[in-house]
Structure formats: structure tokens, C-alpha cells
Structure 1
């Protein structure tokens, strides 16, 4: 594909038409240190605190979800980088499934396509995803989530970048002259609803998230993400941004705040709901490997959000890891194995249900 995605095809091993399936994951990792990753293997993990050489600790007290890996082969980083579970675990699961299907031709399946892409973490990876070239009937992203988890409701998301222009003079002579860009940035953030931030919200609740502030008295650049499951509330949040900027700008004799805002992806729930068989197949595959399906709203987005919007229904399946985007990322070999088993089961059931 000419979209930056590496893709491949496992041809069908049956002589009948069944829906084709895509398994999609992303190669990039979050903007935490990701160079020189050194995976550390912890066999038969028993919950004993893991001490990294840089002083960080991975403990059950701090991360209770680690209990799910007791008795398994846990994989962590060495504490100096992230591990890259998000989303290399998804890639490993997809490759594991295809390797199994190649080695076991007795498992009947239709055409399966893989696509591994860039830039998911900045919300632009699927901008040029070529749905027509990929040519599957539906797909699943394999990105984030507990074992058995299915996600098809995602946020609508936008990124807003504020450029704030101040006036820098010596503070000793600042009366009626100095305009502090950083103070304006503070005032803007304080004008947003305090409890509509990620740390105060859950489920379907949207938020404003302050990502970064760079600058000084003279000039500041401030980056936010704006997210909401509901399209009308999403649009209202973007309007709130513009209103706050207008209110603050009115206090000055010239424009001090400019906003560059762009939508990153949209909630694909309505498109997925029109194709309930895709969710039913995922649930059946999860049950077939002894897991319990759990459909929850995803408090983020995947490449599937955008790919669904482009016309290919693409809900998300689990990759088995936790603590994404930092040095505490972990996953187990068994969890990745369960993802691979689930993908094999989905491929097999797709044939059975088409008979």
C-alpha cells in the first residue's frame, strides 16, 4: 500500500466465498523515550516488586492489574524506555495467528490481510489508508485493552494549538507595558471547566486535555486535545475554546491568542452498529478461546476510528497489555498468545458461519 502501511495477504485455503478479514496494528509508539528498548523477561511472575536500575519500581500495590499476569511470563522494559506494547503486542498477535494458520492448514479460513502502519499515536496514521486497495469486507485493529475486550465506540477528537503573543519588558519597568504570554496561557486553562479533564472523567464523559506548554513571557505555544463520544458535545467543546479565546482577546488592544484546530478522528459507532455481525463474530471468537467478551467505550481512538470513517468497519480488539505510554508498560507472552488464538478462532468461525 502507498499509504505508509506494510501489508500482506494470507490467501484463503477454501474454495468458497467467505468475507475477507483484515487485522490491523500500528508500528509507532507513544512520545515517551523509545530508543534502545531492552525487554526484560520475568518467568513465572509472582507479583514480587520489579526494581529497575534507575530507581523506578513496578509493584502490584501501585498497579493492581499486574495480578492478571501471576504465573505467566511477564515482559517489561528496563525502566529507561517504554516497552512498546502499544502496539507491538498487536503486531505480535497478528503474526502469531497467521503463522499458526500456515502451519495448520486443517483450520479453514478465508482471505486474511494484515496492515501495520505508522503515526497512530499522533492521530494521522490512517489518513491515507487505502481502503479500496486493502479490499477486505471488515477489519479489526488490535490495539489496547484487557483480554476479551472489544471497543467500537471511540471519542471524536481534535487537537488545538494556541499561539499566544505577549510583550516582554524588564519587570522593573513592567507597569502597564508587560503582557505575559504564560499568564495568558494560565488564564485560558483556568477558564476551562475544571472537572472536565481526563483525571476527573470516565466512560462516555469527554474532556479537555492540556498536552504541552512551551514558551516564555514573550510567546507561548500551548497544545490541547479535545475529546467527546457525543458529536454535538464535541462540537460544543470546540466552540468553548473559541469563546474563551475571544473573551481573553477582548481584554487587549490587539489579537493575543490565535487557535489552529483540526479534527483527528471521529466516533465510528454508528457505522459499526450497522454491521452487528462483525461484533458477533468477535464475541464468538473470544468465547471460543475461553475468554469473556466485554464491550466497552474506548476512551481514546485507534486507526480503526478513521478507517471506519473511510468506509471499512473496523472495531478494536484487545492486545493484552497494561500501563501504556510509559516505563511501566507490560504484557505477558500468554496474553499475546490469547490474542493470536482469538484471531485464529475468528478466522475459523468466519468460515463456519458462512456455510
Structure 2
């Protein structure tokens, strides 16, 4: 694509192009990126960035795409970054996405060709977008707004900055990253080489979301090894790992599960299980907004595992940490102006910030603890990781306006200083 087309096509054309590249990540990656489609999108984005005229465009050995938009009129302003991830969730199919643009949504249900229906009673935010242009998938797949809406928003903001010389901004650093959905990619990112004093992931949901607090997370693999035996002569010899796994899962308090918690309540969740009589492997997700709460949940699981060992002395149970992330709030509270400038940018374009804790995590959480303060901004997408995912074009347009306002705010401001 040539420069003129990229600068003038608009956010919708960009989004529709990106979602058609399959970038589903692997649940347990062996390499980064974990799937070949992420390479395809990385190379596409790098080519577009180069064609638009950005400098320092690179795709590294792990498919991280980085680029620079040089300052205009604010050469001494702090360098800030905008980031979005390229992969989509393996929770729903991501191959052969067929995006559908629904012009001027009139309200009521939206029947997708493959069968799923978007209903206001199940997705009340639909009532807030009557008259908007909405984009869905065909219902065979997810849409991929998480996070290709964020990519499209960043690319369109760059296009508008490049084509309109009246925009004043400092140096902007851009990064498109792999394997956010499985939590593995961002650990390979180098904030020092990126060179920004602060950054923003464009990876949130509906209009107004501004997120600077998230779960503390710990992912664990629990393996139960029992003893197989012929079912006809199993008495006194068989130790059925499946039964032991069922006992462990059944001991999770009913009030401590994702489906029974909300707001600032943490949870204990069995995410995956596979195995047989002889061996069962499970992945457990522990989440809490405080470090002490997360530690209490791990201690609960360890006590439950020990009780199972004592009750079945012939079994072997191991617990292995798979990784996790920490609440970014504890760092961002020491850089209040990074969040405050986002609030100001929202209000500059007529959007009131909606600040709620993320019942999950973002690359920004890890980046923040790696030394790059990184709150999260909205994209306009809703109902991520599902076949009924959708995005409002008007909300995406507002997200573009926020990035332009944020670039302007930073052009007028000194670098952030850490506060105790």
C-alpha cells in the first residue's frame, strides 16, 4: 500500500485488514511468537509504518515491531510510547475471520450469519451505541478487536499526525507485541532500548475505560500421579488421579470462583485439565488485587494439596509455578502524572474517564514493573474472546482522538518524576 492510501483510508479500513490475519496465540508457547500468523502481521505492520514515513522501523527475532515518529514542534518533550499486541485469544477460533460492518445500528438483536445473536439483555452496552456503526465477526470466529482495534487506533493516530502539520508532539515510540494472551511475549521486551519515559497500552474495552490497576496473578500447574490397576482387581491398589483431581477441584469454595466474584474480589480458578487414572495435569489461576490476598490463595491450595497427599499416601502431587504478573497500581501511584495526563486527554475530547480495576492483566502491568509506567486505554471493543465480540466505530474514533490529545499533553509537559 502506498503512503497516501495509508494516511487517508481511516481506522475502519485498517481494522478490517488486520483482523483477517490469523494471529491466535498458543496456550503453552514453545517459541515467541508462538504462532506463524503473528509474524505475518508483524511484517505487514512494519511495511505500513515504513511506507507512512516512520523511522527506526524494526522487526526483531521475536516479532516485536518498533518504530519512531520524530517530534514536531516539541523536540525537547519527553519520549512516550503507544503499544498494542498482535495476537488474539485461543478461547475462540481465529482463522478466516469475516468482519461485518453494521451501519447505523438501530437497536435490538443482531443475528450473525453463523448463528450467534448479540442481545441487549446479555450485552447492555449495545443500548449505548444505538446509531453507531458496529463491526462483528460472522459468528464462526472471534472478531479480534482484542487487540487489533488497538493496533488500528494507533496506526490511524499516526496517520493523522503525519498528514496534519498543525499537530504538535514530542517523539513517539510505537511497539506492536506478540503473545500477550498467554502472558509470555512481553518478558522479552527491552524498555531501555524502547527509550520512552512512559507508555500506554491501547488494549481496553468500551468508551472511557482508563485502567491503572490490575490483578496480582499466579498461574500454577498441579500434577497428580496415582496408580493404575485393572478395574476388576483394583481394590486396595488403584489410586484414581481423576477422582483425586475432582476432590481438589470440588474443595474450591463456591464464593471464590470467577463465576461468583466481581469488583475487587479475587478468585481461584481451574483453567485446564487433562489426564487419566494414572496421571492428571491441571492449570490453576490464582488472582487477587493485593499481594497478601494472592499469597493466602496459594497457601489455601498448598494446604488442600497436602490434605490430599495425607488421605492418599500412594499418590504423588507436584505444584509448579508457570508465571504471573503484579498489580501495576503500586508503581503507577508513584508516577501520578502518567495517569493524570491520560485523564486530561480523555476530557480534552469530551470523554469522561471510567477508572475500574482490571479483573485480569495487560502487558502494561509487566512493563510497569519493568520500569516503564504503562496504564491502559480503551479501544472501543466489547465482549472480547468470544464469537459475539464487537466494536463501535465511533468509539474507535474517540480512541484515536485520545491518542492525539495525549501526544499534545505530553508535548506541553515535563518528564514524570517518581514520588515516594
Counterparts of residues 185-264 of structure 1 (less than 5 Å): 185-264=245-324
Shift, 1:146, TM fit: 2.2
1:292 equivalent in alignment to 2:362 = no
Shift, 1:3, TM fit: 5.1
Cα RMSD between the aligned structures? 1.6
Distance in 2 (alpha carbons) for counterparts of 1:116 and 1:52: 30
Distance in 1 (alpha carbons) for counterparts of 2:63 and 2:255: 39
Distance in 1 (alpha carbons) for counterparts of 2:252 and 2:375: 32
Shift, 1:172, TM fit: 3.2
Q: 2:409 aligned to 327, 349, 352, which one?
A: 349
1:59 equivalent in alignment to 2:98 = no
Distance in 2 (alpha carbons) for counterparts of 1:263 and 1:334: 37
1:321 equivalent in alignment to 2:399 = no
Q: Deviations over 1:255-303 (max 9, x none)?
A: 4221111331111112101111111100010001111112111111000
Q: Deviations over 1:306-345 (max 9, x none)?
A: 0000000001111111111110110022111111110001
Question: In structure 1, what is the equivalent of residue 218 of structure 2?
Answer: 158
Question: In structure 2, what is the equivalent of residue 35 of structure 1?
Answer: 95
SS of residue paired to 1:126:
helix
TM-score under structure 1 normalisation?
Answer: 0.96
Q: Which deviates more from structure 2 when the two are superposed, residues 139-148 or residues 75-84? A: 139-148
Question: In structure 1, what is the equivalent of residue 84 of structure 2?
Answer: 25
Question: In structure 2, what is the equivalent of residue 309 of structure 1?
Answer: 369
Distance in 2 (alpha carbons) for counterparts of 1:206 and 1:159: 14
Shift, 1:192, TM fit: 2.1
1:92 equivalent in alignment to 2:152 = yes
Counterparts of residues 79-118 of structure 1 (less than 5 Å): 79-118=139-178
Q: 2:194 aligned to 117, 123, 134, which one?
A: 134
TM-score under structure 2 normalisation?
Answer: 0.82
1:45 equivalent in alignment to 2:105 = yes
1:265 equivalent in alignment to 2:325 = yes
SS of residue paired to 2:256:
coil
Which runs of 5 or more structure 2 residues have no equivalent in the other structure? 1-59, 416-420
Question: In structure 2, what is the equivalent of residue 9 of structure 1?
Answer: 68
Shift, 1:243, TM fit: 1.6
CA contact (8 A) 1:3 1:129 kept: no
Cα distance change, pair 159–354 in 1 and its aligned pair in 2 (3 A) = closer
Q: 1:336 aligned to 396, 400, 403, which one?
A: 396
Shift, 1:204, TM fit: 1.6
Shift, 1:216, TM fit: 2.0
Q: Which deviates more from structure 2 when the two are superposed, residues 13-22 or residues 148-157? A: 13-22
Question: In structure 2, what is the equivalent of residue 281 of structure 1?
Answer: 341
SS of residue paired to 2:254:
coil
CA contact (8 A) 2:239 2:315 kept: no
Cα distance change, pair 15–338 in 1 and its aligned pair in 2 (3 A) = closer
Cα distance change, pair 262–165 in 1 and its aligned pair in 2 (3 A) = same
CA contact (8 A) 1:82 1:327 kept: yes
Distance in 2 (alpha carbons) for counterparts of 1:54 and 1:175: 50
CA contact (8 A) 1:47 1:59 kept: no
Higher relative contact order (CA 8 A, sep 6+): 1
Distance in 2 (alpha carbons) for counterparts of 1:318 and 1:252: 50
Distance in 2 (alpha carbons) for counterparts of 1:219 and 1:122: 24
Shift, 1:354, TM fit: 4.7
